Chains A and B, each alone.
Chain A
Amino acid sequence: MSGVWVFLENKDGKIATGSREAISAARTVADALGQPLTGLVLGQNVSGVADAAFDLGVDAVLGADDATLAQFRVEAAGPLVTKLAQAHNPSVILASASSRGRDLAAWVAADLEVGLVADGVDVAVDGDKVKVTRPVYAGKLLSDVFATSSTQVITLRNRAFPQAEPTGKSGSATWVETAVAEDAIPTKIVGFEGKEGTVSLTDASIIVSGGRGVGGPEGFAPVKELADTLGAALGASRAAVDAGWIPYEHQVGQTGKVVSPDLYIAAGISGAIQHQAGMRTSKVIVAINKDADAPIFKLAQYGIVGDLFKVLPALTAEFKKRL
């Protein structure tokens, strides 16, 4: 029972941001356990991805290069990773808690009949087990969780760990055959429409959000202008989404996205407990609100009591001067 594995999601020859974060977390775990770190590279024409993985500090790469893996499908990747794990018995398998990473982790843990811990925001080794800290009750509480099985499957939340840095290391990958032929894969991807040009909330290092205080759909204009000036993602409270002022994909909170940017600017958001659950792990929180008693000020480092329609344009103008 040995070795720490990390699943490396890749697209167009690049390792996904979340997987680069997973490498740094996995490196910590592997070093503390005194075990080698292996990157799992699945895809088509991915020899460059394997090279990039070595550069980011993995000790070995286990890969499969095949047309059936060109676009990630859990029905192709799941059986392959399960088969590899049965052959090599890794002690830990880590993946980013991305849509694809979650599917793979759940599949592999089910087939190996081992413990699965989702959405880790911190990892620490305790004996031969990995203690994973994860939010529960939609971010209102934390929990320290152990998978007690011989193999521990763990997914990691975006932006909870630093990205692995290039090391200049190189190595030679081990390539294996796929586990499932195309005919035996029950799903066919018939279309894909990429999201271009927008900053996703969960990846953003800066988020500017508006709430009930913006007053209407047009009230988001100054919020968006500041976000655009900062290259930030645009967020919103549930009140603004429910009022139909902005689409749901912008919602931050318990029934929206859980985010953890370096800077979170909340404009016209009172800071209901459900909103706090989605953003309280932000590094620096700035609150702008007319009501000096709004709960958001209890969470913020910096606050301005004032009219967001005056404060936001002033901030935008000031940033434009300085950036």
Chain B
Amino acid sequence: MKVVVSIKQTPSTTAVLVVDNSGKVSWDDPGGKPNVLNPWDEYTVEEGVRLKENHGATDVIALTVGSAESQEALKTCLAMGCTEAILVSDPALQGLDTLGTAKTLAAAIKKAGDVQVAIFGRQAIDGDTGQTPVQVARKLGWTPLTFVSAIKAIGGGKITVERLLDDGKETVTASLPVVINTVKEINEPRYPSLMGIRKASRAEIPVWSAADLGLADGAGSSNVDWSKVYGIPPRGGSVQMIDGDSVEAQAKTLVDKLFEEKVI
């Protein structure tokens, strides 16, 4: 059984983001790494590696679409135990919307051959759409299983998972192949081992072009215009400090204010 884990390199959670007048976003993380494996994808990679360790998956292929720098995130996946990594990178595939990304990933998963499970993270912490996995499933003709908090059983062409929905936990059975998107509850991601990091640093990661995926003309024009990005307007006003002779007096003053604000 082959498994694909689809990942993305994103700004770190501590990165400070700056938008220029043209809406271009740049970031830096003084004292940290500005670019990291998308935090939600750590769970994806861990679950893929566990399918190898516990359920007989033969290949766990880390896959991403992005620039050459995304190799770093793929190396983190290799260090965590993925058996292979593939970078899809091509100028023809820049500025993709969710659907274009989904078509590209679907084509890459097909090319990887005989994949039974493709695993995604909940969302990428930059674009934040969280909608790619279902669209990849549609383009592959596979069943999407979203918000998966546990793989209960896998084998014999079937999979049973637990899904964490807004109003409860659903247990659902489906036929393979499937596209899964994971939530944080699914596992506790491991740290890459030193040996894994050393091995990954030497890895030659194959790069697939749009033409390799039969997408020489791109993945279709984008149906989404998201050119306007800007900082969040600061919250108005400044803090009003509640003082008083005793905590009881402070509590009373604050509660009065909150009733005045009509938020209670």
Q: Which residues of A contact B (CB under 8 A)?
A: 11, 18, 71, 74-75, 98-100, 102-103, 105-107, 109-111, 113-119, 134-149, 186-195, 200, 202, 205-206, 230, 248-249, 254-255, 262-263, 273-274, 280, 283-287, 297-306, 310-311, 314-315, 317-319, 322-323
Contacts and interface: CB of A to CB of B under 8 A. Distances in A.
B223 A147 contact: yes
Contacts of A230: 264
Contacts of A110: 99, 102, 134-135, 138-139
Given A74-B134, A302-B242, A262 B143 contact: no
Given A255-B40, A310-B247, 12 more contacts: A99-B164, A106-B132, A107-B144, A109-B98, A142-B231, A142-B232, A186-B175, A248-B185, A263-B264, A302-B254, A305-B241, A317-B248
A311 B250 contact: yes
Given A284-B263, A318-B252, A190 B229 contact: no
23 contacts: A11-B167, A74-B134, A99-B147, A99-B166, A106-B98, A106-B134, A114-B99, A115-B224, A136-B127, A143-B230, A145-B228, A187-B172, A187-B173, A194-B168, A255-B39, A255-B125, A283-B263, A284-B258, A306-B247, A314-B247, A314-B248, A315-B255, A319-B255
B240 A144 contact: no
Given A137-B25, A193-B169, A311 B226 contact: no
Given A137-B11, A303-B240, A306-B247, A116 B166 contact: no
Interface residues of B, number: 77
A263 B255 contact: no
Nearest to A135: B128
B237 interface: yes
B46 interface: no
Contacts of B237: 301
Nearest to A254: B13
Interface string B236-253: 010111100001101110
Q: Is the interface of A mostly helix, strand, loop or mixed?
A: mixed
Nearest to A248: B184
Contacts of B165: 99-100
B156 to A, nearest CB: 15
Nearest to B225: A146
B177 to A, nearest CB: 10
Given A110-B99, A186-B143, A314-B247, A191 B257 contact: no
B97 interface: yes
B173 A115 contact: no
B205 interface: no
B17 A118 contact: no
A314 B251 contact: yes
B259 to A, nearest CB: 7
A81 B147 CA distance: 22
A215 to B, nearest CB: 18
Contacts of B226: 136, 143-146
Contact of B224 (A105, A142, A145, A286): A145
Nearest to A151: B223
B254 A304 contact: yes
